[in-house]
Each structure stands twice: as C-alpha cells, then as structure tokens.
Amino acid sequence: MSPRDHDVGAILFDLGGVLIELAGVERMLAWSPSLGTADELWRRWLASPAVRSYETGRTTREAFGEAIVAEFGLPVDAGAFLEEFAWWPRALHPGAAGLLAALAPRYTLASLSNTNELHWERFGREWGLPGMFHHNFPSYAVGKLKPDGEYFEHVLGALGVPAGRALFVDDNRINVEAACAVGLHARHVPHFDALAPALAELGIRTT
C-alpha cells in the first residue's frame, strides 16, 4: 500500500547514493574482479564482518582497513585502501540542500546512514549535511546498521513515529526490503535524480 501525503509524518533518507554521489564501487570491482557485479559487491559489503564492526563503532579505522584488505583479497595495503576509502563519498548532489529545505517545514526529516566516524566528520565539515535534518542516526554512533530490523526499530522509537507514517528512501534494494519488513513505507531510489519523482508519485512536493 502506498502512503498518501497526509499520512506521511517523517521521511527517512539514506545518504550515499541518494543525496551523496559515491565513488569506490568501480575501484573495488577492479581490485577484486571475482566479485563480478556491483550488486554482489553490495551484498558482500553489507554482510562483511569488517564493515559491520567499523560502521557500528566497534573497531578502529586501522583495524577496519586491515580486515577489508584480508577479507576481499585486495592487492593493496590497508593504508592505500583507507586513503581512497576516505573519499568514497564524492560530493553532495547540488540539489540536495534545496530539496531538504523544501521538505523540512512539512515533515520530520532524518538521515539513516551506514557510515563511520571518518566519513561523518567530512559530511559535517565540508557540507554541513547533519544540520539539514531534524535528526541523524549515523550507524557508527547508534551501534546498529541497515539492513538489520533493529536499526529501523531504534529510529522509529527515537522519533516517536509509527512505522506506517514513515517513508524510507534508499538506493539499495536490500535495505528497502528490510524497511518494508518492519512496516515502513519504502522506495528504491537509485540516484538523486530519481528522488523527486519518487516522492511526487506519493503526493509529496519538493518545491
């Protein structure tokens, strides 16, 4: 069932791939060609013990780098990987700030991002991104991450919003399916240019 505009009280945004242009997929596939496809990379990445440990704040970036190199069999050392990884979030999409500003008076806006202290610091320093939302739930600070149902349940509890009145948008189908499983309305938005049309289909204006 699709929500009507007046049924939606909160819009929950993934960041990377939706509001932030990402680099890194091509590099990882070049480093580890046995992965084959971007979909397989993301499946492995979301389930990776190294990623889950780092992006729930349970390990250091140095340990994360070492573990990723070993886990994916990368042909570089941990330092070289981390140097590139720091810049995987390439740029905030030019229209993102305006779109969020248009929505903010009418909806509770929250960011739901699998992220880490290295990237989150950049989001604030370079783009002021956390200030564009009413609430932020970076996984490394929450200690939970997508696609785990407990992450979504934590966010809904913190916001005090029923699942049926929350809309979640993400570029990863695995996360969208997980959000639907806990009762949220969710839409797959593969890139920023697809965001406004997806919201418009639900009667949500972005101007």
Q: How many CA atoms lie within 13 A of 4 on its CB side?
A: 2
- The pLDDT of residue 1 is above 60: no
The architecture in CATH of the region 5-21+90-201 reads 3-Layer(aba) Sandwich (3.40)
- What digits encode the pLDDT tens for the residues 88-114? 999 999 999 999 999 999 999 999 999
Separation between Cα atoms, residue 23 and residue 27, nearest integer Å: 8
DSSP-assigned beta bridge partners for residue 180? none
Reported pTM:
0.91
CATH number of the domain at 24-85, out of 1.10.150, 3.90.320, 1.10.3470, 3.40.462? 1.10.150
Task: State the DSSP code for 4.
Answer: P
Cα dihedral 181, 182, 186, 191 sign: negative
**pLDDT tens per residue, range 175-197:** 999 999 999 999 999 999 999 99
The H or E element containing residue 12 is: strand 10-13
pLDDT digits (tens, 9 = 90+) for 7-33: 899 999 999 999 999 988 889 999 999
Domains 5-21+90-201 and 24-85 share a fold: no
* CB-based burial label for 163 (10 Å; 0-12, 13-18, 19+): middle
| pLDDT of res. 200 | 95
Domain ranges of the chain: 5-21+90-201, 24-85
